[in-house]
């Protein structure tokens, strides 16, 4: 069993849900060499979140962002309001979706479904870049294990 770990910094993204699969694949060049394994993606922030969702129709991610705004609106009477109107709703959305994902790997590929991508949901309007910790474990192709 081999282990690899990297931290990546994503550039600031606008509010909304964004497919970040390619950034993850670029950051983990070992994935194509893994026969069977698991990729864990951890977001080091509390006002953004991760989800696996459709990557074929961009309207899905737009609608997801709008639905999250309806679930956790800015005009709710939150107690925590010192960091701006979009901060506390961002924490609620992050708690609902979560800050980590695990994706199986087989024969050098993420075993995502045909229409799935790894998405970062940016809940703040003026967020800084986001840090991800990527941890890959697995058996290397041709290692005989």
CATH number of the domain where residue 81 is located: 2.60.120.460
- The tens digit of pLDDT for each residue in 58-85 reads 999 999 999 999 999 999 999 998 999 9
**What domain range includes position 24?**
2-140
* 10 domain-assigned: yes
Q: How many domains would you assign to the chain?
A: 1
The C-alpha angle with vertex 38 and arms to 59 and 49, in degrees rounded to 5, equals 40
pLDDT at site 8: 98
- The 10s digit of each residue's pLDDT in 12-56 is 999 999 999 999 999 999 999 999 999 999 999 999 999 999 999
CB-count burial class (<10 Å; 0-12, 13-18, 19+) for 102: exposed
At 142 the pLDDT is 81
Residue 145 lies in a domain: no
Q: Answer yes or no: is 64 within a domain.
A: yes
């Amino acid at each position: 069993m081999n282990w690899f770990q990297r931290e990546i910094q994503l550039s600031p993204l606008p509010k909304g849900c964004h497919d970040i699969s390619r950034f993850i694949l670029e950051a983990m060049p070992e994935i194509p060499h893994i026969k069977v394994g698991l990729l864990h993606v951890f977001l080091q922030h509390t006002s953004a979140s991760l989800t696996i969702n459709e990557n074929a129709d961009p309207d899905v991610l737009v609608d997801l962002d709008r639905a999250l705004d309806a679930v956790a609106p800015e005009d709710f009477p939150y107690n925590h309001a010192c960091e701006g109107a979009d901060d506390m709703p961002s924490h609620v959305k992050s708690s609902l979706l979560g800050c980590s994902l695990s994706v199986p790997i087989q024969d050098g590929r993420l075993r995502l479904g045909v229409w799935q991508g790894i998405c970062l949901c940016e809940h703040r309007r003026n967020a800084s870049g986001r840090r991800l910790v990527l941890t890959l474990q697995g058996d290397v192709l041709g290692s005989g294990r």
